[in-house]
């Protein structure tokens, strides 16, 4: 297994965001996560990526225990994430944003980084915006930049937090195609998304979270047919 989360627990006061969570992802696998607002989905990413510390449980990644490993160490080990609200370095150019990922997130030399960043920008359809300030990008471009910057760190696992949210249907379809390509290149994906159609075009397996608990897991279509999941999904759609 590439990622093995076991017995993860975390609360904020009386709000339980991780309630004995287990989750495994194999190398190259694509797993989707759905759940209502406040279910603890982003918190789970924060726990995995190291921004938050669990009160109990363990996370193993690529054979290593991540206890005490800071976010930058997890990134260098091959884990990269995007943020629900894009967080580019607004005053740097698109290209410079990627360089930060490649140089500091992967410890590449600037020369190696320059080449790989150019390739990633091309793959993500951002090459013609390479010299634009990140602060000037449209929402779709910002979402693409989140992914491009994550890819610049050469991850084995990419965590996507509602990357398709807020886009038009056409933009969403474009993004799904890009994510499909990333997946085909062998990078494992853990993708939180409310837009189930987009998610289902890419994932192998679906996990449903509610109140910090994993309430269902399995093949996407089978999971969605469960009455308790269906009930929650209607709430998500509304």
Ligand X SMILES: Nc1ncnc2c1ncn2[C@@H]1O[C@H](COP(=O)(O)OP(=O)(O)OP(=O)(O)O)[C@@H](O)[C@H]1O
Residues of this chain that interact with ligand X (CB under 6 A) are: 12, 15, 17, 35, 37-43, 84
Shortest separation between residue 112's beta carbon and ligand X, angstroms: 35
Q: Which is nearer to Mg ion, 36 or 180 (CB)?
A: 36
Q: Which is nearer to Mg ion, 86 or 102 (CB)?
A: 86
Q: Which is nearer to ligand X, 15 or 56 (CB)?
A: 15
* Tokens found for residue 34: 């759905």
Q: Which is nearer to ligand X, 35 or 88 (CB)?
A: 35
Residue 47 contacts residue 54 (beta carbons within 8 Å): yes
Task: Say what angle helices 94-104 and 139-151 make with each other, to 10 degrees.
Answer: 20
* Tokens found for residue 84: 């629900």
Shortest separation between residue 92's beta carbon and ligand X, angstroms: 26
Q: Read out DSSP for 5-52?
A: EEEEEEEETTEEEEEEEEEEE-TT-EEEEE--TTSSHHHHHHHHHTSS
Shortest separation between residue 69's beta carbon and ligand X, angstroms: 20
CA 81 remoteness from chain centre:
5
38 contact choice in ligand X, Mg ion, none (CB below 5 to 8 Å, kind-dependent): ligand X
Shortest separation between residue 41's beta carbon and ligand X, angstroms: 3
Bridge partners of residue 65, in order along the sequence: 60
Shortest separation between residue 11's beta carbon and ligand X, angstroms: 9
What is the x/- site pattern for Mg ion, positions 69-98, by CB under 5 A?
Answer: ---------------x--------------
Residue 138 contacts residue 150 (beta carbons within 8 Å): no
Q: Which is nearer to ligand X, 12 or 169 (CB)?
A: 12
From the list 181, 177, 205, 170, the residue with the least C-alpha distance to 191 is 205
Bridge partners of residue 189, in order along the sequence: 30, 158
Residue 213 contacts residue 21 (beta carbons within 8 Å): yes
Count Cα atoms within 13 angstroms, Cβ side, for 152.
32
Q: Does 42 bind Mg ion (CB under 5 A)?
A: yes
24 contact choice in Mg ion, ligand X, none (CB below 5 to 8 Å, kind-dependent): none
Shortest separation between residue 161's beta carbon and Mg ion, angstroms: 6
Q: How many residues does the chain have?
A: 238
Among the candidate windows 34-42, 65-73, 170-178, 211-219, which touches Mg ion by CB under 5 A? Answer: 34-42
Per CB under 5 A, residues contacting Mg ion are 41-42, 84
């Amino acid at each position: 297994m590439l990622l093995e989360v076991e017995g993860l627990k975390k609360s904020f006061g009386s709000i339980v965001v991780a309630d004995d969570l287990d989750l495994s992802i194999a190398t190259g696998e694509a797993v989707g996560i759905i759940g209502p607002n406040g279910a603890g989905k982003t918190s789970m990413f924060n726990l995995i990526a190291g921004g938050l510390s669990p009160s109990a449980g363990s996370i193993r990644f690529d054979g290593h225990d991540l206890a005490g490993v800071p976010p930058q160490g997890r990134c260098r080990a091959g884990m990269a994430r995007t943020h629900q609200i894009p967080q580019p370095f607004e005053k740097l150019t698109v290209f410079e944003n990627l360089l930060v990922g490649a140089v500091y997130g992967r410890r590449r030399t600037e020369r190696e980084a320059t080449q790989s960043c150019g390739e990633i920008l091309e793959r993500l359809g951002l090459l013609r915006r390479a010299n634009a300030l990140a602060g000037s990008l449209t929402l779709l471009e910002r979402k693409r930049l989140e992914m491009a910057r994550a890819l610049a760190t050469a991850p084995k696992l990419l965590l996507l937090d509602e990357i398709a949210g807020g886009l038009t249907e056409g933009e969403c379809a474009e993004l799904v195609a890009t994510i499909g390509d990333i997946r085909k290149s062998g990078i494992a994906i853990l993708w939180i998304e409310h837009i189930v159609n987009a998610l289902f075009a890419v994932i192998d397996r679906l996990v449903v979270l509610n109140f910090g608990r994993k309430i269902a897991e399995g093949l996407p279509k089978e999971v969605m047919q469960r009455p308790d999941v269906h009930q929650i999904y209607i709430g998500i759609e509304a």
